[in-house]
Structure 1
Amino acid sequence: MGEFIGREVELEVSKIAHGGIAVGRLDGRVVFVTDAVPGETVVARISDDRKKSFWRADAVRILEPSEHRREHVWSAASIDRDPRGRAGGAEFGHIALSHQRELKRQVLAEALQRMAGIESDVKVEQMPGDHAANGLGWRTRIRLHVDEQGRIGPMASRSHSVIPVQEVPLASAAVQAATPFDERFEGIATVDVLAPTRGDARLVLGEQKPTVIRERVGEREFQLDDTGFWQVHREAPGVLSAAVQQAVDDALFDPRAANLDLYGGVGLLAAAVGDRFGPTTRITSVESDARATDHAAENLSDWVGAAAETARVDRWLRDAEQNASTAERDRLRAATVVLDPPRSGAGTEVMGILGRLAPAQIVYVACDPVALARDVALAAEAGYRLDHLRAFDLFPHTHHVEAVARLVRD
């Protein structure tokens, strides 16, 4: 293997695959092609021929462009550059914004059909302000890497090569202004730049000790570490809070049940549930990061029945299943469970235990459509069906899409 790497071939690309890569065929073999748009004919350079079943390639010239192709929003990622020198992190930046959402819809719908047998006509909703801004200026946080000369930039796609840049157009104006493009950094691997809604923009250099910041969502403030997780799009915390509130079926919600917010972070979604159902709402947020749990305890202090526990979700659920009393099992069966897992999804064990605990409803916040579809299929084995689904374009000019789903028992 390796004899075809670097060879340029002509390909017709027909569809988009999970991960935002277009799909073509060469002599019957699948070729995944970056920087192409379905419907195009391109010249692509083979970058990986190690697999018998598929190869990888990068578009280098467009012979027949799609009507949806646009000049890339980030010159550092333009098709005019050598593929090894293209900045990663904006892999849909050459596609019209409305068509990006259509491609994301296709990926989500295909995953649900293929993995869960569900036909879906869900639309991907754009965020306020993104149309006018052409999907730019939404990131309130960025992570840049440091090269051997101390320069900062993103990594190239599927590479550990750092691409020095002088702009980050997906970042908010405050983040862009605070990014030290011309400085040199030695002895650290990363430079994070963030602009919280309260206070000034700041840098986090490498493994710097965390400090506490505050983020505002509607009328509520949340404390968290500047090194901790927070939704990146400026509108995402408010949009997801509202989407979760809408997704909870109030006919199935019992404020006295053992309601759960799993992978709860600093308590954003638990607070959304509490705000909808009132100060006596009982809800426990479970999060493996101890500092995030400490912040969640403070952020959820308005609710008498709210608690935050530090534990891996799978272990916490395993313990609940094994040790819950009959009364506790009844409260879990009456519960609403909010799930916001990492990109890998909740997975077999977590979904299996939830199926056996049989809560009244599961509200699943997903940042990966394939993981969501897999977990919906796992839930179906325990008698749950998908009866509510929304999708949001929280990551314009990238392939990522967020979804909020509700699962209820048949």
Structure 2
Amino acid sequence: MAKRDLRTTLNPGDRMEVTVDNVAHGGLFVARTEHGVVFVPDALPGERVAVELSRVAKSFAHAETLEVLEASADRVEHFWPEARVERSANSRAGGAEFGHIRLPVQRGLKTTVLRDAMQRFGGVETDVEVQPAPGDDERGGLAWRTRVRLQVSESGRQGPFAARTHTVVPVTSMPLATEGIQRDALLEERLVGASRVDYAELGDGTVDVIATEGDAPEGPTQTIVEYAGDRAFHLDRAGFWQVHREAPALLTAAVRRAIDTDLVDPKAANFDLYGGVGLFAATLGELLGPTTRVISVEGDEVATDHAAENLAEWVGAQAITAPVASFLAQTRRTATPNELRRLAAGTVVLDPPRSGAGKQVVESLTALGPRQLIYVACDPVALARDTGLLRERGYELTSLESFDLFPHTHHFESVAAFRRA
């Protein structure tokens, strides 16, 4: 029996009352109605809410929550006044979409999303649970962001976009930011002419402010220093660094745990793909010793230059600027039999963007046949889909850890290990 097309009965702007059934990926919740599935934000399973439809597709609709009619016992008052459901959707600050949910319940919902994704897309049943980062429970999940990006309106007011829009919501506070950023932020200033402003609390406790016109940061490029544990990393002041104050140390420790040292060969061709400034390449080097052969591959030239500096103590380390897919394809085409043997003995760490590694990268990587892969993932569905691709090509999941490095949002990080069967 063909499913009914929701567009024949529903239209954007329609209002209805729905009962929320479950959590979905992306910070949304599922309501099953007589018309079909409606995805709802700012809700909780079991709640009855009044919503207004914002988009109607053939098999599902999206809505904005207008009012909570029957609240869950797990609902709390949102910690950020600018993000509360009592505000209209267009004036509701984005970036803290789980802030109305008790912190342990947030992690339970993320655990549900991860387990469901791994089963549906990866074909793997797992009992993994999303774990808190050190100090977050004591802080109520606040004051963890060492990097905050705010948009700037035409009038110069600063704030995030409202969720699912490009409407700037001016704010007077940033509770998820570190205490240093909260202290030094220029929220009362009008930044007329800027398109966005980035605040960063650096490893030495100073706060950097980068105002941007268009796509280019103002002023000359500068090098800063950040830390993972006791190890220093040089990077561009506008470059990527892990956002949560505990993330660099926590993730490198998780990568170290995920590596099976019995399968490690320091003289093999070991890779750090999507390597940034060499955070995980350094982890490999520390684990495997001073003669470690490791190649960090990163598409950003400035980050690669810093990676070369950060990896200088390992005589066998290299930093290459290239798209990962192109690098792997070229390696497959040009590797000699001896190089292929070293590649097959290697350990690979990959930390792809939110979209995941994808089919092309997985095919090229598994064709080289490294002994083990350590996958750092910031999206559970992308990880699950790549898990399915890896399993089809002879790799099995051997360990999985997940960490709530983005409290009060739907995001979290996972570290998965795969071994060639």
User: What TM-score comes out, normalization by structure 1 length?
Assistant: 0.98
The answer for the alignment partner of 1:160 in structure 2 is 166
Give secondary structure in 2 for the equivalent of 1:37. coil
Q: Deviations along 1:177-199, whole A, 9 cap, x unmatched?
A: 22111111122211000011125
Q: CA deviation at 1:285?
A: 0.3
Q: Deviations along 1:21-71, whole A, 9 cap, x unmatched?
A: 00102223110001001111111122222x121111122221221121111
Q: Deviations along 1:319-360, whole A, 9 cap, x unmatched?
A: 000000001000000000000000000000100011111100
Mapped contact 1:222–1:299 kept (Cα < 8 A): yes
Q: CA deviation at 1:135?
A: 0.3
Cα distance between partner residues in 1 of 2:221 and 2:187: 23
What are the residue-to-residue correspondences of 1:170-185 with 2, within 5 Å?
Answer: 170-185=176-191
Cα distance between partner residues in 1 of 2:301 and 2:280: 18
Mapped contact 2:400–2:417 kept (Cα < 8 A): yes
Gaps of 5+ in 2: 1-6
Cα distance between partner residues in 2 of 1:74 and 1:275: 41
The answer for the alignment partner of 1:42 in structure 2 is 49
The answer for the alignment partner of 2:298 in structure 1 is 287
Mapped contact 1:70–1:95 kept (Cα < 8 A): yes
What are the residue-to-residue correspondences of 1:253-268 with 2, within 5 Å?
Answer: 253-268=264-279
Structure 1 runs of 4+ aligned residues shifted over 3 Å read 1-4
* Letter in structure 1 aligned against 2:250: V
1:250 to 247, 258, 261: 261
Q: CA deviation at 1:3?
A: 7.1
What are the residue-to-residue correspondences of 1:42-121 with 2, within 5 Å?
Answer: 42-49=49-56, 51-121=57-127
Cα distance between partner residues in 2 of 1:117 and 1:62: 36
Cα distance between partner residues in 2 of 1:295 and 1:198: 19
Cα distance between partner residues in 2 of 1:43 and 1:199: 45
The answer for the alignment partner of 1:380 in structure 2 is 391
Gaps of 5+ in 1: none
* Letter in structure 1 aligned against 2:355: S
Cα distance between partner residues in 2 of 1:292 and 1:61: 46
Is 1:310 equivalent to 2:317 in the alignment?
A: no
Cα distance between partner residues in 2 of 1:293 and 1:301: 12
The answer for the alignment partner of 1:14 in structure 2 is 21
Mapped contact 2:154–2:193 kept (Cα < 8 A): no
Cα distance between partner residues in 2 of 1:37 and 1:178: 35
Q: How many residues align?
A: 409
Give secondary structure in 2 for the equivalent of 1:95. coil
Aligned identity (percent) is: 52
* Letter in structure 2 aligned against 1:170: L
2:330 to 319, 323, 330: 319
Cα distance between partner residues in 2 of 1:77 and 1:104: 20
* Letter in structure 2 aligned against 1:258: A
Cα distance between partner residues in 1 of 2:11 and 2:78: 28
Is 1:4 equivalent to 2:17 in the alignment?
A: no
Cα distance between partner residues in 2 of 1:210 and 1:235: 26
* Letter in structure 2 aligned against 1:73: F
Give secondary structure in 2 for the equivalent of 1:163. coil
Mapped contact 1:12–1:41 kept (Cα < 8 A): yes
The answer for the alignment partner of 1:349 in structure 2 is 360
Q: CA deviation at 1:84?
A: 1.2
* Letter in structure 2 aligned against 1:389: L
* Letter in structure 1 aligned against 2:15: E
Mapped contact 2:148–2:177 kept (Cα < 8 A): yes
Give secondary structure in 2 for the equivalent of 1:251. helix
Cα distance between partner residues in 1 of 2:83 and 2:13: 19
